[in-house]
Amino acid sequence: MHTAAQHAASTIDPKVAIQAGKGDNHAFTQLYDQSSTILFSLALRILGRREDAADILQEVYVDIWKRVIRYDVGRGTPIAWLITLTRSRAIDRLRASDPQLRRQTLPTDGTESAVLPGQFESPADQALRTVISKTLEDLPKAHRQAIELAYYEGLLPAEIATRLNQPLDAVITRLKLGMSQLHKSLHTYWEQDLSA
Amino acid sequence: MTHHDLEDTVPFYAIGALEKTERQALEAHLLSGCVPCRTILKEYQSVAVALPFELTLVPPPRHLKAKIMGARTMPQSAEAALDSPAKSSLEPGEWMNHLFPPSTASTPSFGWVLSMVFLVVLGIVAFLSWNSSPQETATASKVAELQVQADEAHAKLAILQQQLKEREASLAQTQEELQRRLAELAEVKDQLIQREAELDDLKSHLTPQRTRPTALP
């Protein structure tokens, strides 16, 4: 019987990721079950189309199975590795897509089938969501916007400045302050989590 | 750029917001072995990968899991049609390979696999031909030898058949001669019986004439 902790994306056992890359069917299924929702949400946020997001996920998981890419504990947690891979590929696809189409499809169109916060979500993932959401909400809107454009659209500071019609220095400062605030909040959360 | 300047770029690097030249400069700095920068980078990368947890969760399509499970067993040729660029431009730079053991599996290229398969097949064929040639040669020589023996036997049989025919003809002549002799013998026997009968007649005529001339008082 599965527990909530076993379904948490943020707490995927590194052994599961390693075994999944070695052809273990059970481990691969577990890896998919634990990570696919967060990865699909990320790819959908970047690409804006469910079909494109599904394609990205298929590429990532099939590459893991076929050992084109392999998890290494030295590169952080399994979900950090998976999120980095998914984001990189989704951004590449976004850059290669038609800018007109990109404009039409963003923001996400998946809200109608979205899972409500807390629904089927593990306590570990909920706690992380709470920290991140709270920190981003506390940031000035311009800071948050700059971070989202960099992270979800792969824009460089100069491109963000152009998009928002803001001075480059202002964008750089917002990015730096926003990331610094996120770092502080998460650092505190991780220390508390570690001591608990 | 100073260490401080480079350290300031770490958060931007973590979310992929650095120009190419700045990115290369920071990667070179990290490769040089700057531990503080590596530590800070690790922390900011953790921040970056935590960002998607604030997104509204959207489950993937129900059919996607089955599609992925099926795609795992697709042949290479079909898979190639679905392949995207092998490595994303946003994946960690080459400097990461120096920090950690290579994580990408050493997957052999298709050409390399094809070459290996060709070599194996060539080896098998060579082995079979090397192994089967003496057998075929021996079999051929045996067949030729048997053919010669069969020809010789056939010739001997023909000679024996000829001799048998000659013997049969000779036997027939002997039978004819024997029958002719038997017939002559039977004729001689008949003549002998006739002469013996004539002799008996003459003996009976001579005996009464000797007893009639002598009478008494």
Kindly state whether residue B192 falls inside one of the protein's structural domains: no
Kindly report the pTM of this predicted structure.
0.63
Instruction: Report whether B32 contacts B42 (CB < 8 A).
Output: no
Please report the pLDDT score of residue A6 as a whole number: 53
User: Could you state, in order of their start, the residue ranges of all structural domains in chain A?
Assistant: 1-117, 139-196
CA distance B68 to B71: 5
Number of domains, chain B: 1
How many Cα atoms are found within 13 Å in the side-chain-facing hemisphere of B106?
3
CATH of A139-196, one of 2.102.10.10, 1.10.10.10, 3.40.50.300, 3.40.50.360: 1.10.10.10
Kindly state whether residue B10 falls inside one of the protein's structural domains: yes
DSSP B189-207: HHHHHHHHHHHHHHHHHHH
CB-CB neighbours of A87 under 10 Å: 28
The CATH number for B41's domain is 1.10.10
Token pair recorded at residue B87: 């490595």
State pLDDT tens for residues B26-62: 999 999 989 999 999 999 999 999 999 999 999 999 9
Amino acid at A53: A
Interface test with A, best of B40, B43, B54 (most A CBs within 10 A): B54
User: What ipTM was estimated for this complex?
Assistant: 0.88
Kindly state whether residue B78 falls inside one of the protein's structural domains: no
Res. B179 pLDDT band, cuts 50 70 90: confident
Range of the domain at B21: 1-55+90-100
Token pair recorded at residue A118: 């807390």
Could you give the C-alpha distances from A121 to A128, A192, B6, B16, in angstroms and in order?
11, 21, 39, 28
CA distance A111 to A113: 5
> Which parts of chain A register pLDDT below 50?
1-5, 103, 105, 107-112
Q: Which residues of A touch B107 (CB under 8 A)?
A: 66-68
Please report the pLDDT score of residue A144 as a whole number: 95
Asked if A113 is an interface residue toward chain B (Cβ–Cβ < 8 A), one would say: yes
Please report the pLDDT score of residue B132 as a whole number: 53
E strands, chain B, in order:
none
Kindly state whether residue B41 falls inside one of the protein's structural domains: yes
Kindly state whether residue B32 falls inside one of the protein's structural domains: yes
Q: Which residues of A touch B55 (CB under 8 A)?
A: 38, 41-42, 45
Kindly state whether residue B29 falls inside one of the protein's structural domains: yes
Kindly state whether residue B194 falls inside one of the protein's structural domains: no
Nearest-CB residue to B17 (from A40, A111, A156) = A156
What's the sign of the alpha-carbon dihedral A151, A154, A159, A165?
negative
Kindly state whether residue B212 falls inside one of the protein's structural domains: no
Looking at domain A1-117, its CATH class is: mainly alpha
DSSP B22-63: HHHHHHHHHHTT-HHHHHHHHHHHHHHHHGGGGSPP-PPPHH
* Residues A64, A70, A73: CA angle, nearest 5 degrees: 130
